[in-house]
Structure formats: C-alpha cells, structure tokens
Amino acid sequence: MRYAHEVGKVRAAERALMARLPDGALMQRAAAGLASVCARVLPAVYGARVVLLVGGGDNGGDALYAGARLARRGARVRAVQAGSKIHEGGLAALRDAGGRLLDGDPAEAIAGADLIVDGLTGIGGTGALRDPHARLAALASEATGIVVACDVPSGVDAGTGRVEGEAVHADITVTFGTHKPGLLIDPGAARCGVVELVDIGLGDDLPDPDVVAARPADVRPPEPGPESDKYRRGVVGILAGGDEFTGAAVLSTGGAVHGGAGMVRFASVAHPVELVRQRWPEVVTTVIEPGPHDPKVLERVGRVQAWVAGPGLGTGDAAESLLAAVLATDLPVLVDADGLTVLARRRDLLLRPAPTVLTPHAGELSRLLGVPREDIEARRLEHARRAAAELSATVLLKGSTTLVAEQDRPVRVNPTGTPRLATAGTGDVLSGLIGALLAGGMSALDAAASGAYLHGLAARLASAPHPSAADAPISAYDVITALPEAFRSV
C-alpha cells in the first residue's frame, strides 16, 4: 500500500523528529533526496541549466539547498524569488556553491531551463495561487524542461487534491516522509506526474494513515481451492434491468460472471431475463412479474451469499419493494444506479446490521446527502467520508479518482482509473464484479476497493492490450472480456 497522511499529522511528526535532530538536519535530508532525484532525471548534471522557483516557506529552503548540491556538481543554477521572503540559509548555501538569485523577468530563463524545481508553496498551501506565484506556476507548466515539484505541486491542496486556479504541472513530484492525500486524488494527482517518496525518518512519529492506495500485490480476490465448488466460491444474486433498461441487466450480470462468482442468480421482468439467458447461459434466472412484490419474492430466486440491486431497475413502487426486501436480509448488499435514487427518498432502508456497499457518482451522492453536485466534485474526499458516516455504509464514490470510504477506516484511493471508463454501462459491470467479490467472502471495504482496482485495470488492458499500443475507445462489454486478464495480472 501507499500510505498518505493529512497535513496536520505530517507537521506534528516533523516537529517530533526535529526535536531529536540537530537544527536544520531534517531540511538537509529532504534537500539531499530532492537533489538525488533531480540529478537522476537530468542527462548530465554538469552544465545543466537549472531554475529554482522559490517561495518563502520550507519547500523554498529545500529547493535552495538541493540547488546548491546540484551547483557543486557543475549545474548552472538560478533561483527565482517569489514574494518578499526567502530562506536565508538556503540562499547562502546556493551562492557559496556558485548559484545565484535571478534578477528581472524570469520568463526566458524558465523557458530555456533543462530542469525547473518548484518550491513555490508547501503542503500548507490552500486556495488559489496569487501572483507572482500563479504566473511562475504557469511559466513552469508551459516550459519544455523537466519540472520537479517539492512535496506537492504548487497550487494543489495537499490534503484534498483540490485545485483552484493555476497549478504547476509537474513531471515528477518528490514528496517527503509520507504521501499526502492530494497526491493521490484528482485533480491534484493529475498534476503530480511520477511521485517519488523520500524517507526522511518520519516513520515512527506518524500515526495510522488517512488515505491508502493499493499496489498490485495488495489486491487479493478470492481464489478457488481444491475443495471448491460453485457454492463455496460464492453465489451472487442480481436484481437489475427492466423493459426500458435491458443493457444494465446483461452488463451487471457479465461483471459477476467474469468476476469470479461460483454462480450468478438473476431476477427481473421477462424481457431482460430472456436477454441474460441468451448472453450468459450459465446464469440461473427467475422472472419476476411487474408491480409491487411480496417480501418473500427473494425466496423464489434462491439462496445467495450477496445481493446486487439497482442497475436499470427503475425507481417506482416495484423497484422500491424489491430493494426493501433485499435490504431486509442479513446478507451483504450492493446498491447502485436506480437503487440509489430510491434510497435518496428511503434512507431508512439503510438501517441494517449487514454490510452495505453504495456506488454513487457525484450526482447520485448529491441526492443522497442533499448537497449540490459541484460541492461534492470540489471536495470529494470530505463528502465520501461524510457519506460513509451518515449512511452507515461502505461508499464507493466514482470519478476520475474513485474513493472507497468506510467510517473510522483509511479511505481507499483507486490508482487504476482511466478516462476510457467514461462510457455507458461500465458502472453496471463494476456492480456485478463487486457483488461477486462480496459473495466470495471479501469484506465490503476490500470488495469495493479490489473491484475498483480490477475494473480500472481491465479497462486499461482493453483500451491498450499491448504495451506498445495506443489507447483505443472501449465499450462496457470490452471491460467484461478483459476482466480475466486483470485477475491474472494481480
């Protein structure tokens, strides 16, 4: 896992460590790591044109001391001061090593640099950058040289990933001690480039992480053993589709079939049932008559270990009664799409002891929480946590960075997302996939996070099946067919 900590916790850990170290030692550790990465990405340090963008905080000092190290190796280092303050010790070290402070308009120097080091702001920076910082961030982002950010690209909120106004687009971000949430969550994550973590010794002083992102080795879907049969592998029940939205039935069922379920049971009205039978003959189907349903309707479907309810189901009385019946069980339930619309008016259905997974996009979460969609999109981490607490559920908030939140647990950030998933039906596939993982015995948090990881990986494999291939448009069905390869990859 990649672990990320909120800014206040990082600051507290830094203070605790600095109290045990000689004055300035922590900054020197950070500067040494920053300089090492800069030297590694340059074709040659000697003679390289390096421009430091220096603010008045500690990241400005890190940049200056790193610049001094590069200057001592023959780089031509120039510092651009933003604002009225500068780290005096760092500036003195740079000058002693042969670097200098640049006078006048820095645009030409930035445009001609081989390497630009962004030390304009630090992890405490919030809100939109103002000039001269905003102009320097824009110049750096437009330059052809390699851009390396200290700790977090200037203009990116380190705690949330929020970006208001101009922000540096880094090729590499060198972060110190631990990852920060904003490095993992869009839109900030998209401005970080490759993130390099430099160990400065904070480990023993850091508490439990606030946000985590999985690596391939962390994704462990259930695997069949010698004694497995279709029932031990997990039986998932799916209530999806209707006469109007038949595709949701086929796609969510396909996600479960290719998601490792031992058996898939599907129930809906006659037309989607017939389509599922034609496309997925291995699925056990049940026709449910339209209209209000007896609470015992689920007994006709058969025994399952987890339920998926909602994709294309409709939002009327019939859908509500089915959803109420499913949520009255003591089994794990995933609710998506139309099911979430029903829950927005029937939040009382979520008062249950069994695990519940909700998979909204920002618009659906806005209805569940009564919060404007734009507020959710602007503060995704905050609202994912709030939803998990208010709704007593595991909440998977879809988006360019998918977040999975559960109360009193670190938020899981999915690193495999791709814009190619922005096509109709991929959310239905995800629902069936997570339902299969739930039926296989995974916890709600692990099933949702692993499902998101595998789903994103499958989309990437489908859009570029060979390493040398360019990304190509994909459909939801392409994601289904790529799921076996995604499973093999982890």
428 in a labelled binding site = yes
Name the residue with tokens 């997570």: 434
Reference 340, options 307, 373, 315; nearest CA is 315
- Tell which phi-psi region holds residue 370, choosing left (phi > 0), alpha (psi between -120 and 50) or beta: left
161 annotated as belonging to a binding site for a ligand: no
Contacts of 440 (CB under 8 A, 6+ apart): 221, 222, 233, 234, 260, 261, 262, 305
Q: Is 58 annotated as a binding residue?
A: yes
Whether residue 60 is annotated as binding a ligand: the answer is: yes
Q: Is 125 annotated as a binding residue?
A: yes
Q: How far apart are CA 186 and CA 157, in angstroms?
A: 10
Tell how strand 284-287 and strand 100-101 pair up.
Answer: unpaired
φ, ψ (nearest 5 deg) of residue 58: -65, -35
Length of the chain: 490
Three-class DSSP category at 405: strand
Please check if 214 is assigned to a binding site: no
The answer to whether 124 is annotated as binding is: yes
- Known binding residue 203? Answer is no
414 annotated ligand-binding residue? no
Q: According to the annotation, is 294 in a ligand binding site?
A: no
Tokens of 200: 């400065």
Q: H/E/C letters for each residue in 345-372?
A: HCHHHHCCCCCEEECCCHHHHHHHHCCC
Helix ranges, 184-268 (H) = 247-257
Q: Is residue 242 a known part of a binding site?
A: no
For residue 62, say whether it is annotated as part of any ligand binding site: yes
**296 appears as a binding residue in the annotation:** no
Report whether 399 belongs to an annotated binding site: yes
Q: What is the spatial distance between Cα 52 and Cα 46, in angstroms, rounded to a whole number?
A: 16
- Report the C-alpha gap between 77 and 48 in whole angstroms: 8
Backbone angles phi, psi at 203, to 5 degrees: -45, -50
Residue 338 marked as a ligand binder: no
Quick one: tokens of 376? Answer: 């959710």
Q: Which two tokens stand for residue 124?
A: 């405490």
Residue with tokens 């090492």: 36
Helices in 216-302 by DSSP H: which ranges?
A: 247-257, 270-279, 297-301
Determine if residue 398 is labeled as part of a ligand binding site. yes
Q: Is 128 annotated as a binding residue?
A: yes
126 is known to lie in a ligand binding site = yes
Asked whether the beta carbons of 4 and 121 are under 8 A apart, the reply is no
The structure tokens 């190509």 sit at 472
Instruction: Count CA within 13 A, CB hemisphere, residue 60.
Output: 24
Is residue 463 annotated as involved in ligand binding?
A: no
User: What tokens were used for 6?
Assistant: 């909120």
Q: Binding-site residues for (6S)-NADPHX, please?
A: 58-62, 122-128, 151, 248, 312, 361, 428
Q: Binding-site residues, please?
A: 58-62, 118, 122-128, 151, 154, 248, 312, 361, 398-402, 427-428
Q: Binding-site residues for AMP, please?
A: 398-402, 427
Q: Binding-site residues for K(+), please?
A: 59, 118, 154
